[in-house]
Amino acid sequence: MAGNTLGTLFAVTNFGESHGPAIGCVIDGCPPGMALAESDIQPELDRRRPGSSAFVTQRQEADRVEILSGVYQGQTTGTPICLLIRNTDQRSKDYSDIAQAFRPGHADYAYYRKYGIRDPRGGGRSSARLTAPTVAAGAVARKWLRERHGTQFQGCMTQLGELPIAFESWDYVAQNPFFAPVADTAALENYMRALRKSGDSCGARLRVTARNMPAGLGEPLYDRLDADIAHAMMGLNAVKGVEIGDGFACVTQKGSEHGDAMFPGEAGRPRFASNHAGGILGGISTGQDLEVSVAIKPTSSILIPRPSINTAGEAVELITKGRHDPCVGIRATPILEALLALVVMDHAMHQQARATA
Amino acid sequence: MAGNTLGTLFAVTNFGESHGPAIGCVIDGCPPGMALAESDIQPELDRRRPGSSAFVTQRQEADRVEILSGVYQGQTTGTPICLLIRNTDQRSKDYSDIAQAFRPGHADYAYYRKYGIRDPRGGGRSSARLTAPTVAAGAVARKWLRERHGTQFQGCMTQLGELPIAFESWDYVAQNPFFAPVADTAALENYMRALRKSGDSCGARLRVTARNMPAGLGEPLYDRLDADIAHAMMGLNAVKGVEIGDGFACVTQKGSEHGDAMFPGEAGRPRFASNHAGGILGGISTGQDLEVSVAIKPTSSILIPRPSINTAGEAVELITKGRHDPCVGIRATPILEALLALVVMDHAMHQQARATA
Amino acid sequence: MAGNTLGTLFAVTNFGESHGPAIGCVIDGCPPGMALAESDIQPELDRRRPGSSAFVTQRQEADRVEILSGVYQGQTTGTPICLLIRNTDQRSKDYSDIAQAFRPGHADYAYYRKYGIRDPRGGGRSSARLTAPTVAAGAVARKWLRERHGTQFQGCMTQLGELPIAFESWDYVAQNPFFAPVADTAALENYMRALRKSGDSCGARLRVTARNMPAGLGEPLYDRLDADIAHAMMGLNAVKGVEIGDGFACVTQKGSEHGDAMFPGEAGRPRFASNHAGGILGGISTGQDLEVSVAIKPTSSILIPRPSINTAGEAVELITKGRHDPCVGIRATPILEALLALVVMDHAMHQQARATA
Amino acid sequence: MAGNTLGTLFAVTNFGESHGPAIGCVIDGCPPGMALAESDIQPELDRRRPGSSAFVTQRQEADRVEILSGVYQGQTTGTPICLLIRNTDQRSKDYSDIAQAFRPGHADYAYYRKYGIRDPRGGGRSSARLTAPTVAAGAVARKWLRERHGTQFQGCMTQLGELPIAFESWDYVAQNPFFAPVADTAALENYMRALRKSGDSCGARLRVTARNMPAGLGEPLYDRLDADIAHAMMGLNAVKGVEIGDGFACVTQKGSEHGDAMFPGEAGRPRFASNHAGGILGGISTGQDLEVSVAIKPTSSILIPRPSINTAGEAVELITKGRHDPCVGIRATPILEALLALVVMDHAMHQQARATA
């Protein structure tokens, strides 16, 4: 693979740069006959959109999605769906300082070594802006999975920097800009205001789930469902850790504690006493809820001066001005939901391909 | 993809079941002209081999690898390399109890839902035995990367159940059956003896690294180097969490702390002051050491009775007799090294494909 | 694969419908650092463009290509290149007759059986218009191959319906709308005028070549260079036959006649006495010119009434009004060149990936 | 792709060399729950087997297939199926002459340029012997398609060198070593005897069909059904041309003649008046019989001296002694059937993956 495609049967090919004319993706493999319009996609993009609160980048982008192909008279035709999002608020002058130098902790240096050339405007291809097409494609997968299997994807923030966030209710997630499952976000707001003032950035921990999961998804060796989830999550900017179910907590668990006991349930299906596995055993979905957690690192673009080098190999001191998210985790919840949906969609199609009934 | 292939340019297709006649893999894409013999592969298989200490399964398998193709007069020809390992110590009667019931925490139930049929002998395809071909293929990748780039892969155990293992030296890793980087493993041995006596199992945490890494490996969107590492690691039996660099510790770090400062180094290359990133920025290798950690869950096959159901949906109580690893993490180090090498190899070939110089 | 991507390392994903807002493609995997502008691509699109002579469809499309990504300051960056072409001259009313009926020899019926839904406007996805993005992508591959290897792609028409066209010179190809290698095209013009008058359509035979070919391209089993050329050519609308080298003439040849004798040539390379093989032996390029021929069937959209059925399974009689090419072979030469270049490009990158030197 | 895998959902990875210890393949993606034993595969291998008549190579190989994995208690489990065939009759001394020289028309030179190294024993990887695993895998696909869709694959020889073979009946095909659909093969036998005596070789033309085809198979752009058939056929040793339906005869047809008229048939399906299309329109199967023709070149290994060069670039004269097929077309029929079945199987699974019902 050339790298910019996620999935093989529901294959999403992503293109674009932060400050180019447009970003977008092509979905190849969407089943035909599903009602689809821009209005099915736009709400998910709006959830991820920059400029929507004081705690995220102030770049103003409407992120209007345009369906260029693959839909006829309001229905998917089974042919590739191109989704286009025009960039509108590019301020390339903001980035002139870092064109010849490498921000510590940023993709700058790695791109330089890989390509010998890079588009420095807004991070170019490495910008978190490129997650918008992923979210758009995810909306298509989510619609299909919801209509066919009743599957629902939902995420939330569980820690903001040093502040753990105790889960209260999914109902609160849509009511605050942090996607936090709590009624009162005053502490989170204060934390972010202090962070902003310091010119620094912070990490976050997020959780994403899938309910009403079809069982039997995932290939047992190499392309397991958990492996592909890990691939999708770790493929997201700034993610440095992924857990399925109990994750790293498994290390100190005993087998007698970890294995989820099964009791007779409805329709010959088991009732699981717990979900330490996070819905996946042997790489294959069991029908339990998927439970995934990710660690997001602090943004590298900060106002605090950092020692670095430039393309000539000389020492420089860098401050990153411009518009940046002080915590990219804040807007990451819709992206994680989209990524999880895209992985499940691809595996659902694979499982359907082999079905013998 | 059909699921059992790892990599696209250095593509390893794995086949076999725990108690079938043989297991193995086909490596498609190995560059021609590299000296290769069974003796280059066997030592890695010996490191992973069962029955080698009191703390692992007592199944006796020589794990002799046979090169069936792709090598002529001691050199790779560029054509597919089939590596075959005959199974010799199958005792299928051990598994008759669990043929119609599902072990809690085991792949049994998921396979049943996916395929409607499963080979219950020794876990069939879900057995950790299927990591042997991965290790064999990894040995080929490691040889190429070592000879061409000087890259070295090394792993160790960093926690055994509740026991953290403080790093002392890589030199100790080869001297004990735990792959523990410590001189004195008495505590680990005692822990395992008590665990054995209790009939239970435990988890583990492992670390795996790559030194002398080529810079520029990894596609920045979706098929990032870290994404593919996460895919490979989470695709290994029992792995429930993956971290790159500081991993989940990033959540509480500030950007000013996390971003690895760069200073002028040798040959125009930077000298990094730290390695919080674990050798990858923006999904692309920087040339720093790769640092990866994984969480391994406790084995589901234990001697303590557990409530479950059978294929008829009835309640049963299960004890798993037979030969099992009480901690699959103990033998996992060579597998993690192999997986990391396979991912790096595939990306090294991708990078070479696009090289313009 | 989901079907609409050609190539794996230089991967072109095509999207769009004949009468949708736009058509285009994403090239994933283009090497970085190559100068690229719309002006490198537009001339190839102009060669394929409709409305350019009396012998092709009168649809007026400027076919202006827009580079949306992957190029910075006039150079490829190694990231995906999205090429967009807006549709401008859609007359959907022309196609209302055939929305519920199936033209004999047309994709109508097959699409209906595959998808249950189809976009009937201008043939939707099955329109030859979708070859424009292929031509655009091919221009990028051609530039890279020309600059790096000096490889040149050139095609021509060798038969128009019942009229064989004797090869005179490549110089004439650009001087007539048939891409015919002859000075005098009066016979071809008369043939087409008579065909137009009859309301019928005709087939054609075309030849496409590559000169200055790198040797060693192609994987010997399954993904041979000739196999991938056949795939690309037969994947083009209306193509029903593909030949490499002497093709079907080989059937009556003897081995002593067919095998191209080799004599010592320059720089240790052979001088071949002939090129019956068409530049490929054992699926791998020898460095000789590639020689490929294709058969193109007559267009199914004709003004002569034909018996068919509609979606209700009832008998109907169909005439296809609207704007159509009476011989799609006339505009096919630039497409064949592009397809051959795309296949060679992908294999050149594969070969580079495994190079040991 | 690394080259040696055919198909993506029913993926067959081929390995081995003519004179190595074994050849074989891994089928990844076979649906679970199908009865399968060696006895389902062996008859197809026996049809292709060398040494079975005076008109083919006298190498004696039993070609016994061994199922190493993926089958439990006589049923496919959905996991990879490894099929192994041991080589038994290697006489490597036969090939010492050509180890340092290149046979005109043979893969020798191309391999040398690609890999810098080659296994000269019996043609190594380029030997037609490597079609045996393809035939074995094809037998598995054929069984699934026959049981599920009633699809049947059948081929025959339609021309041997200068001798056209008029079709009499499919019934005769199994009764002669040429797979010729004629009662009397005396002329063919005489032709081959004269050819043998002359030390030369000849080409052939073959036809392969599929009956009871599912409609709707094939992706319309690039990965069309006809494109993938062409890829599979041209990927076979010695094939230089492929036709679908009327193939090159289309060139001189008019649209009014070529397009297959449709009349109301049974169950709302059309009754086609003819099958010029060969069962595929717009790259998608219509449900009509597939009709494919291939041109096979004369074998390059002949007893007539030919001028060539060696690895030092010096002129040599080559005679190829040893055991060779004077016309590889004679044994090609079962291989073409297998290839067609593998392509149809892969597309059938793709179509099932997207089914909405």
Name the amino acid, one letter, at B194.
A
pLDDT score recorded for residue C51: 74
Q: Do C32 and B8 touch (CB under 8 A)?
A: no
Give yes or no for residue B59 having a pLDDT over 80.
Answer: no
Q: Do B250 and A200 touch (CB under 8 A)?
A: no
pLDDT score recorded for residue C52: 76
Is residue A26 within 8 Å of B243, Cβ to Cβ? Answer: no
Name the amino acid, one letter, at C59.
R
Give yes or no for residue D352 having a pLDDT over 60.
Answer: yes
Name chain A contacts of D355, Cβ cutoff 8 Å: 31, 352
Is A126 assigned a ligand-binding role in the annotation?
Answer: yes
pLDDT confidence band for B301 (50 / 70 / 90): confident
Q: How much is the average pLDDT of D279-305?
A: 96
Distance CA D320, CA B284 (A): 51
**Cα angle B34, B40, B44; round to 5:** 135
Is residue C222 within 8 Å of C282, Cβ to Cβ? Answer: no
Q: How much is the average pLDDT of C190-196?
A: 95
Is D297 assigned a ligand-binding role in the annotation?
Answer: yes
Please give, rounded to a whole number of angstroms, the shortest distance from the CA of D148 to a CA of chain A.
Answer: 9
Mean pLDDT rounded to a whole number for chain A: 93
Is residue C23 within 8 Å of C85, Cβ to Cβ? Answer: yes
Give yes or no for residue B136 having a pLDDT over 60.
Answer: yes
CB pairs under 8 A between A and C: 151
pLDDT confidence band for C337 (50 / 70 / 90): very high
Residues annotated within the binding site of B for FMN are: 125-127, 237-238, 282, 297-301, 323
Name chain A contacts of B280, Cβ cutoff 8 Å: 110
Q: Do D353 and A356 touch (CB under 8 A)?
A: no
The residues near A316 (Cβ < 8 Å, ≥ 6 apart) are A101, A307, A308, A309, A310
For residue A127, the chain B residue with the least C-alpha distance is: B282
Distance CA A274, CA A276 (A): 6
Select C94-354's CATH number: 3.20.20.70, 3.40.50.11540, 3.30.365.10, 3.60.150.10.
Answer: 3.60.150.10
Give yes or no for residue C357 having a pLDDT over 60.
Answer: no
pLDDT in tens, C240-262: 999 999 999 999 999 999 999 99
pLDDT score recorded for residue C49: 85
Distance CA D137, CA D129 (A): 14
Q: How much is the average pLDDT of B295-306?
A: 93
Q: Do C313 and D233 touch (CB under 8 A)?
A: no
Q: Do B113 and A219 touch (CB under 8 A)?
A: no
pLDDT score recorded for residue C55: 83
Q: How much is the average pLDDT of D260-276?
A: 94
Give yes or no for residue B96 having a pLDDT over 70.
Answer: no
pLDDT in tens, D119-143: 888 889 999 999 999 999 999 999 9
pLDDT score recorded for residue D1: 58
pLDDT in tens, B168-204: 999 999 999 999 999 999 999 999 999 999 999 999 9
Mean pLDDT rounded to a whole number for chain B: 93
For residue A282, the chain B residue with the least C-alpha distance is: B107
Q: How much is the average pLDDT of C18-38?
A: 96
Q: Mutate which of A8, A27, A69 to disrupt the C interface (most C C-beta within 10 Å)?
A: A69
* Residue A299 backbone class (left: φ over 0; alpha: ψ -120 to 50; beta: rest): beta
pTM exceeds cut of 0.95: yes
Name chain D contacts of C130, Cβ cutoff 8 Å: 221
Q: Do D250 and C237 touch (CB under 8 A)?
A: no
Name chain C contacts of A5, Cβ cutoff 8 Å: 5, 11, 13, 28
pLDDT score recorded for residue C120: 86
Least confident of A45-49, B1-5, C146-150: B1-5
D47-56 in b/e burial notation, b at 16+ Cβ within 10 A? bbbbebeebb
Say if residue B244 is exposed, middle or buried (CB neighbours under 10 Å; 0-12, 13-18, 19+). Answer: buried
Mean pLDDT rounded to a whole number for chain D: 93
pLDDT confidence band for B293 (50 / 70 / 90): very high
Higher pLDDT, B302 or C183: C183
Distances in whole angstroms, Cα of residue C351 to Cα of each of A76, B347, C356: 38, 15, 10
Give yes or no for residue A129 having a pLDDT over 90.
Answer: yes
For residue B349, the chain D residue with the least C-alpha distance is: D2
Task: Report the interhelical angle of C131-149 vs C38-48 (nearest 10°).
Answer: 130
Chains contacting chain A through 3 or more C-beta pairs under 8 A = B, C, D
Q: How much is the average pLDDT of A207-211?
A: 98
Name chain C contacts of D251, Cβ cutoff 8 Å: 159, 161, 203-205, 295-296
pLDDT score recorded for residue B16: 97
Alpha helix segments (H runs only) across A79-221: 108-115, 131-149, 186-198
Give yes or no for residue A100 having a pLDDT over 90.
Answer: no
The residues near D75 (Cβ < 8 Å, ≥ 6 apart) are B117, D32, D33, D34, D35, D36
User: What's the DSSP call for residue D254?
Assistant: B
CB pairs under 8 A between A and B: 401
pLDDT score recorded for residue D123: 86
pLDDT score recorded for residue B355: 85
Q: Do C355 and B352 touch (CB under 8 A)?
A: yes
Please give, rounded to a whole number of angstroms, the shortest distance from the CA of C104 to a CA of chain A.
Answer: 22
- Domain assignments of chain C as residue spans, ordered by start: 94-354
pLDDT score recorded for residue B53: 81
Q: Do B9 and D28 touch (CB under 8 A)?
A: no
Q: How much is the average pLDDT of C94-108?
A: 82
Q: Do D241 and C247 touch (CB under 8 A)?
A: yes
Q: How much is the average pLDDT of B303-332?
A: 89
pLDDT score recorded for residue D94: 58
D176-201 in b/e burial notation, b at 16+ Cβ within 10 A? bbbbbbbeebeebbebbeebeebebb
Q: Mutate which of C9, C36, C82 to disrupt the A interface (most A C-beta within 10 Å)?
A: C82
Distance CA B252, CA A204 (A): 7
pLDDT score recorded for residue C1: 58
Distance CA C143, CA C138 (A): 9
Distance CA A213, CA A287 (A): 5
pLDDT confidence band for D161 (50 / 70 / 90): very high
pLDDT in tens, A65-88: 999 999 999 999 999 999 999 998
The residues near A170 (Cβ < 8 Å, ≥ 6 apart) are A154, A156, A181
Q: Does domain D91-354 have CATH number 3.60.150.10?
A: yes
Phi, psi of C256, deg, nearest 5: -70, -20
Name chain A contacts of B227, Cβ cutoff 8 Å: 230-232, 234-235
pLDDT score recorded for residue D89: 76
Mean pLDDT rounded to a whole number for chain C: 93
Distance, C-alpha D125 to centroid of its chain? 16
The span from the first CA to the last CA of chain A, in angstroms, equals: 32
Least confident of B205-219, B281-295, C46-60, C138-152: C46-60
pLDDT in tens, B69-91: 999 999 999 999 999 999 987 76
Give yes or no for residue B92 having a pLDDT over 70.
Answer: no
pLDDT score recorded for residue D295: 98
SS3 D192: helix
Is the interface score ipTM higher than 0.90? Answer: yes
- CATH superfamily of the A92-354 domain: Chorismate synthase AroC (3.60.150.10)
Q: Do B69 and D20 touch (CB under 8 A)?
A: yes
Higher pLDDT, A2 or D177: D177
Distances in whole angstroms, Cα of residue B162 to Cα of each of A335, B184, B201, B299, B303: 35, 17, 12, 15, 20
Contacting D with CB below 8 Å, chain A residues are 8-9, 29, 31-34, 78-79, 220-221, 349-350, 352-356
pLDDT score recorded for residue A151: 98
B150-186 in b/e burial notation, b at 16+ Cβ within 10 A? ebbbbbbbbbbbebebeeeeeebbeebbbbbbbeebe
pLDDT in tens, D195-245: 999 999 999 999 999 999 999 999 989 999 999 999 999 999 999 999 999
pLDDT confidence band for C59 (50 / 70 / 90): confident
For residue C80, the chain B residue with the least C-alpha distance is: B221
For residue D78, the chain B residue with the least C-alpha distance is: B115
Residues annotated within the binding site of B are: 48, 125-127, 237-238, 282, 297-301, 323
Using CB atoms, pick whichever of D113, D228, D258 lies closest to residue C298: D258
Q: Do A352 and D350 touch (CB under 8 A)?
A: no
Q: Mutate which of D191, D251, D311 to disrupt the C interface (most C C-beta within 10 Å)?
A: D251
Which tokens hold the place of C229?
């050329």
Using CB atoms, pick whichever of B4, B241, B254 lies closest to residue A221: B4
Q: How much is the average pLDDT of C105-115?
A: 93
Using CB atoms, pick whichever of C9, C220, C221 lies closest to residue B353: C9
Q: Do D353 and A350 touch (CB under 8 A)?
A: yes
Name chain B contacts of C79, Cβ cutoff 8 Å: 220-221
Give yes or no for residue C93 having a pLDDT over 80.
Answer: no
Chains contacting chain C through 3 or more C-beta pairs under 8 A = A, B, D
Is A256 assigned a ligand-binding role in the annotation?
Answer: no
pLDDT score recorded for residue B305: 92
pLDDT score recorded for residue A57: 79
Please give, rounded to a whole number of angstroms, the shortest distance from the CA of D77 to a CA of chain B.
Answer: 6
Name the amino acid, one letter, at D235.
G
Using CB atoms, pick whichever of B201, B223, B306 lies closest to residue A261: B306
**Could you give the percent of chain C with pLDDT greater than 90?**
83
Task: Report the interhelical angle of B225-234 vs B333-354 (nearest 10°).
Answer: 150
Distance CA C255, CA C253 (A): 7
Name the amino acid, one letter, at B48.
R
Please give, rounded to a whole number of angstroms, the shortest distance from the CA of D345 to a CA of chain C.
Answer: 14
Using CB atoms, pick whichever of C243, C256, C297 lies closest to residue D241: C243
Q: Do C16 and A80 touch (CB under 8 A)?
A: yes
Higher pLDDT, D209 or A62: D209
pLDDT confidence band for C186 (50 / 70 / 90): very high
Please give, rounded to a whole number of angstroms, the shortest distance from the CA of A250 to a CA of chain C.
Answer: 36
Q: Do A282 and B107 touch (CB under 8 A)?
A: yes
pLDDT confidence band for D357 (50 / 70 / 90): low
Give yes or no for residue D323 having a pLDDT over 80.
Answer: no
Q: Do B75 and D14 touch (CB under 8 A)?
A: no
State how beta strands C65-67 and A152-160 pair: unpaired
For residue A118, the chain C residue with the least C-alpha distance is: C77
* Residue D350 parent element (H or E): helix D333-354
Give yes or no for residue B357 having a pLDDT over 60.
Answer: no
Using CB atoms, pick whichever of B237, B239, B259 lies closest to residue A105: B259
Is D238 assigned a ligand-binding role in the annotation?
Answer: yes
pLDDT score recorded for residue A301: 85
Say if residue A261 is exposed, middle or buried (CB neighbours under 10 Å; 0-12, 13-18, 19+). Answer: middle
pLDDT confidence band for D99 (50 / 70 / 90): confident
